[in-house]
Amino acid sequence: MKVQINTDKHIEGHARLEAYFTGEIEKSLERFESKITRIEVHLGDANGEKSGTHDKRCLIEARPVNMQPVVVTEHSDTVEKAFHGAIDKMKKTLTTTFEKQKTH
């Protein structure tokens, strides 16, 4: 499972941030590792340099093997909260997706 982290121009994407988020994704989605080829994370700030509530966005796209991509989005007041909220949504979505696939 390849992990790719993307940030917009308002989020500083340094090596430490990428290493932390990559580690969290690998740990959180470990049980789906054999079923997913790639995870893309898109971090952004909707208001740019202005402050605001719930203006940080985290979009996570998972690419399951032989299936359409699965996408979740979370908004929060910090990048970290948005990221962890999106990871929780992705775990639930992937669990549901793969359970449905088993029954068919």
Give the pLDDT confidence score for residue 46 in this predicted structure: 77
Residue 13 has pLDDT above 90, yes or no: no
Residue closest to 13 by CA, chosen among 73, 47, 58? 58
Q: Assign 58 a pLDDT band (cuts: 50, 70, 90).
A: very high
CA distance 62 to 53: 27
Quote the pLDDT of residue 47: 72
- Inform me whether the pLDDT recorded for 53 exceeds 80: no
Domain boundaries, the chain: 2-103
CATH code of domain 2-103? 3.30.160.100
